[in-house]
């Protein structure tokens, strides 16, 4: 099947800055029904998990912006991601006439991961996605049920794993790229990738892969944006048709945002 003949699917990842802002989250979920065709929602929620850990006097360790997940922190993020945040999103979608189902990767074995190697850094119960069960997810989509994935996977050995939500969204888009024209959207509180972190209007509207390498060398793109953009280009290199970064408004209006391109 050629890409022109494939049906379109949107995979949308929302970040903590949307989840933490009740008004922004409700506005997005209210408008979600406007997105036509099959769609999958992926969310994180690290800030809320960190806040609860602090209240419970459980230390949170971050290395290069990534959470070290020991058993106590795994318990916290499972309660927050798969419980409080996920079910809150699903309930609000139901209130807006969108039939949704909240999932971890363990549910119906939808996302299998492997525990990340402890060399050179032991991140604990952190997983890298290995397999997306597209058949099961497709069953939901065919019954007009919108999957809502939190950032929890499993290893088939009884262990839950903390897996980066950006990566989950990218791997889902890649897996469905065989059957759909998949479009991947990373939504956060900026209009896109910025030339100047202090100037919210300095959006780089198009970034191709060679330009991305140059922007990293010049440290215009740095820290947390690097793994996000790595996921973007990994998706484009594996048959995802479009990748966009910006506010949730880009899903509903022709607003300024960043589009990633291979060349």
Residues annotated as binding site? 45-46, 67, 162
To the nearest 5 percent, what fractions of the chain are helix, strand and coil? Answer: 40, 25, 35
CA distance 19 to 42: 11
Contact 205, 194 (CB under 8 A): no
CA distance 50 to 178: 37
Contact 29, 87 (CB under 8 A): no
* Long-range own/partner contacts, residues 25-28 (CB < 8 A, 24 or more apart): 25/89, 25/92, 26/92, 27/248, 28/187, 28/248
Contact 51, 19 (CB under 8 A): no
Q: Order of strands across the sheet with 7-14?
A: 100-103, 146-149, 39-43, 7-14, 180-187, 242-246, 258-261, 206-208
CA distance 25 to 95: 13
CA distance 115 to 44: 19
Q: 117: which DSSP letter?
A: P
CA distance 191 to 132: 30
Which segments are annotated as binding site for substrate?
45-46, 67, 162
Whole-angstrom Cα Rg for the chain: 18
């Amino acid at each position: 099947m050629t890409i022109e003949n494939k049906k379109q699917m949107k995979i949308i990842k929302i970040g903590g800055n949307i989840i933490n802002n009740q008004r922004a989250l409700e506005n997005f979920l209210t408008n979600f029904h406007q997105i036509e065709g099959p769609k999958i929602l992926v969310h994180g929620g690290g800030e809320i998990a960190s806040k609860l850990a602090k209240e419970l006097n459980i230390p949170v360790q971050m290395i290069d912006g990534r959470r070290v997940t020991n058993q106590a922190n795994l318990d916290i993020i499972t309660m927050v991601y798969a419980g409080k945040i996920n079910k809150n999103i699903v309930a609000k979608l139901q209130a807006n006439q969108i039939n949704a189902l909240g999932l971890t990767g363990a549910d119906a074995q939808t996302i299998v991961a492997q525990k990340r190697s402890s060399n050179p850094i032991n991140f604990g119960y952190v997983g890298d996605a290995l397999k997306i069960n597209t058949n099961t997810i497709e069953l939901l989509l065919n019954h007009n049920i919108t999957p809502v994935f939190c950032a929890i996977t499993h290893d088939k050995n009884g262990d839950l794993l903390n897996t980066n939500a950006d990566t989950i969204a990218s791997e889902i888009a890649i897996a469905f790229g065989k059957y759909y024209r998949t479009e991947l959207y990373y939504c956060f509180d900026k209009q896109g990738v910025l030339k100047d972190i202090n100037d919210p209007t300095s959006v780089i509207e198009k970034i191709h892969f060679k330009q991305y390498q140059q922007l990293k060398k010049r440290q215009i793109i740095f820290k947390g944006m690097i793994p996000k953009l790595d996921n973007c280009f990994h998706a484009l290199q594996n048959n995802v048709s479009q990748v966009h970064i910006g506010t949730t408004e880009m899903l509903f209006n022709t607003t300024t945002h960043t589009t990633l391109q291979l060349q």
